[in-house]
Amino acid sequence: MCAGGDVRRVVSLARDPSRALEACQFFTTEYECDWALAGMRATQVALMDGIVMGGGVGLCAHGRARVATERTRWAMPEVKIGLFPDVGASWFLTRLGGEVGTYLGLTGRAINGRDARDLGLATHLVPSARVPGLVEALLRGPGAQAVAVCDAAEEAGRGELGGGAGAGSLPPRGDLGAAFAGDSVRAILARLSERAGAGCAWSREALDAMLAASPLAVHLTLRMLREAEGIPTLRECLAMEWRLACQCLLQEGTDFVEGVEAALVRKDGRPAWRHEWPARWRETGRVDPPGEGGEGIPPGEAVPRAAVDAFFAPLSVELPWPRFARDGRSGKSRM
């Protein structure tokens, strides 16, 4: 559903200061599409039979019927390219409970179809072999019965997803809640480091994933998710994400351009992030709790709070409001 060509185009525009506003228009159009899908009166059926990541999640997450299979690989891996989970992720990740959304957002971890069904990110779990028949049944029947048709396909395929194909792979929710609670990235890393040192495999994987991601993007994502917990509507969450996405294009030295170029243009996998994790953390996998440190390790966060605050400040230029953010207003945005 998404292979990265879209963000590569955006970054090519953002590299040219005279076209930065054109780059911002991409996010305006994308988020307006997500908002339109969320408000569709007709039933939308998303067949998530394979890779569903980033912008692809935005095309699926807001519809009434979201069908996963044993081939589904669902992820919001934006922190790996210096961005944050968007397309409404601040809304749906924070509604998963038990810090599962924080875990998925900060690590970019991919989950399978069973996990997606259990979390409510998918509404149905159907064997991949039954998808062609499901499509035929959907095309034959009236749209009002689409959800019932998906219900019947799931029931017919129940028991066919044996072994690992039908099993979830997420860590226990209680463990995720203990590890990913709070507003401090460093505290989360320290708890994962302690658990990893005691032999916890999923904690080691999560720690390695976060330390391989953009430090700025990880800190920005945690702040966004905590802000979203107090935001009551998808519309307002999308408005926040739109402002953050524009800041990622308009601010000088943000990680988004560098992350995309390292992953999709140069393809060297060696981004030069604006901020760096302490070398000892990366080399040893041992992260000091907040307030502790040592030689070359500051006692606070790896990214200054002011650098994150800047993303939540008003935009430096005037831009047209996205449709979902106008709320009866007209004119330009300086959100």
Give the catalytic positions in this structure. 5, 55, 78, 86
- Helix residue spans in the chain (DSSP H): 5-14, 20-38, 55-60, 89-92, 100-107, 113-119, 131-140, 146-157, 173-179, 185-197, 201-212, 215-228, 234-250, 255-260, 279-284, 305-309, 323-326
* DSSP string of 119-155, one letter each residue: HTSSSEE--GGGHHHHHHHHHHS-GGGHHHHHHHHHH
Kindly give, in sequence order, each residue whose CB lies less than 8 Å from that of residue 84, ignoring residues fewer than 6 positions away: 78, 105, 217, 220, 221, 224, 241, 244, 248
How far is 105 from 86, CA to CA, in rounded Å?
10
Question: What residues are paired with 319 via a beta bridge?
Answer: 333
How far is 276 from 187, CA to CA, in rounded Å?
17
| Residue 41 DSSP symbol | S
How far is 315 from 319, CA to CA, in rounded Å?
8
Structure tokens at 229: 């917990």
Q: How far is CA 334 from CA 87, 103, 243, 320, 329, in A?
A: 20, 32, 9, 9, 13
Pairing of strands 332-333, 124-125: unpaired
DSSP three-state, residue 259: helix
Q: How far is CA 167 from CA 118, 267, 334, in A?
A: 10, 34, 47
